[in-house]
Amino acid sequence: MTETDTDTAPRPPARLRGLASWQANKASTLGARLTAQRMPLRARSDFAVLAALEEYGPLSQADIGRRLGLDRNDVSGVLDRLESQHQADRHPDPGNRRRNVVTLTAAGRQRLEELQRHADAVQDELLAGLDPAEREQLHFLLAKLLDSHTPQPA
């Protein structure tokens, strides 16, 4: 969109534009659209699971689901895919043979880095109108806002 297109585009009422919840919803929708252009739904779930394994180390399937706000069946489907692509391994938990422990593989680390590049490109596009200090401030304020409420499923 050019500057003149922006100036003449119909705008929602000021009462809506003045609501942080309305703005956050619009930014979220835009972010979701940009993400979908670069990362199909499966890649987004792979990214979340691989990131959890990288950050927290070996986890049970149930722990992955709790950390990401995902249903156990959804986690199982993602892990089936990651395991078939040698990006994650599942082994029986030595302390509890009824549950599996999931670990990240070298191929999983490579896939995570590839997906991170896509996520970074989306962030750059979404936040293009902000300078680095403003981006940092936005991250800080959003984290502060989210930390002040009960965590919601991802």
| 52-101 residue pLDDT tens | 999 999 999 999 999 999 988 899 999 999 999 999 999 998 888 888 89
Span 116-134, mean pLDDT?
A: 97
Question: What CATH number should be reported for the domain holding residue 140?
Answer: 1.10.10.10
What is the average per-residue pLDDT within 13-26?
Answer: 94
Is 27 domain-assigned? no
In a domain, 16, yes or no: no
Q: What is the mean pLDDT of residues 6-12?
A: 81
Structural domain includes residue 17: no
Task: Give the whole-number percent of the chain exceeding pLDDT 70.
Answer: 94
Quickly list DSSP for 56-108.
Answer: H-SEEHHHHHHHHT--HHHHHHHHHHHHHTTSEEEEEETTEEEEEEEEE-HHH
Give the domain range for residue 89: 39-147
Is 70 part of any domain?
yes
pLDDT of res. 5: 56
Q: Is residue 14 part of a domain?
A: no
How many independent structural domains does the chain possess?
A: 1
* Residue 33 resides in a domain: no
